[in-house]
Structure 1
Amino acid sequence: MSDFMDKAKDMADKHDKQVDQGLDKAGEAADQRTGGKYDEQTDKAVDMAQARTGEGDQDR
């Protein structure tokens, strides 16, 4: 399992901008499904996930 995680992290590091865009889209989808009820928590979770992949948020 460790080998899989290493490969996944490597892939995320190499494609950081695409990963960040995917996380943004996932956050937007969650906001739409909940009617924005958890917008603040969703934004915080997306920001935390982006900080853990590559060099952080590449869309800003």
Structure 2
Amino acid sequence: MNRLKKNLKPIEGDYYLTPEGYRCFTEQYHLRRGYCCESGCRHCPYGYDKKTNQYTKK
């Protein structure tokens, strides 16, 4: 297990359900987590672009 990763339990405002029923994590959650998972998240505050595999300034 990677010791750098935090095991955070979602709190109110960390996610919402999409019309398809998936959890979509908000910028609030990503910032609490403290790192980018490089999955191309919709609300990524770190500026990661999955298509180019690069970070852009935000």
TM-score, with length taken from structure 2: 0.27
Decide which structure has the larger Cα Rg and report it.
1
Query: Which has the larger share of helix?
Result: 1
Q: Which has the higher contact order (CA 8 A, sep 6+)?
A: 1
Query: Which has the larger share of strand?
Result: 2
